[in-house]
Amino acid sequence: MANYKDKLDSEWLKANVNIKHGDIIRIIDDTEDAEGNIVLTVGIVEDGELTKQKKFQLNRTNLKTVAKAYGFESEKWKNKDFQVSVYKARNPQTGELVDAILLSLPNMQPDTEIEGF
């Protein structure tokens, strides 16, 4: 029987699809989309090496984590690693519970105080 999980893969980082709880990502670059959202290009780190590159829209909670560690100047974020935690959050547009990504510094507990999604 064939396994078609890879058909769900996307150019975007997606919790429990192409990234899982405990994985490490590395920030490669940043940009803003047409709506002014911060979009990172990140690499998934496996055995210390970058593998797949994905896009990741930085929400307010994850921006606070990144800025607390390295400041608000995005140039200082490049080549920095973050650990992924996957948790359930309510999508504000649909009200549906979805898998969401919470960043923390590697080997640190994520901040459990989540503000919105």
Q: What is the CATH number of the domain that holds 25?
A: 2.40.50
pLDDT of residue 115: 46
- What range does the domain containing 77 cover? 14-104
- Average pLDDT in the chain: 89
Is position 2 within any domain?
no
Helix residue ranges per DSSP H, the chain: 60-70
- The answer to whether the CB of 75 falls within 8 A of the CB of 100 is no
More confident residue, 53 or 117: 53
In this prediction the pTM is 0.82
Q: Domain tally for the chain?
A: 1
Is position 4 within any domain?
no
pLDDT of residue 59: 94
pLDDT of residue 55: 98
CA gap 28, 77 in Å, rounded: 8
Is position 28 within any domain?
yes
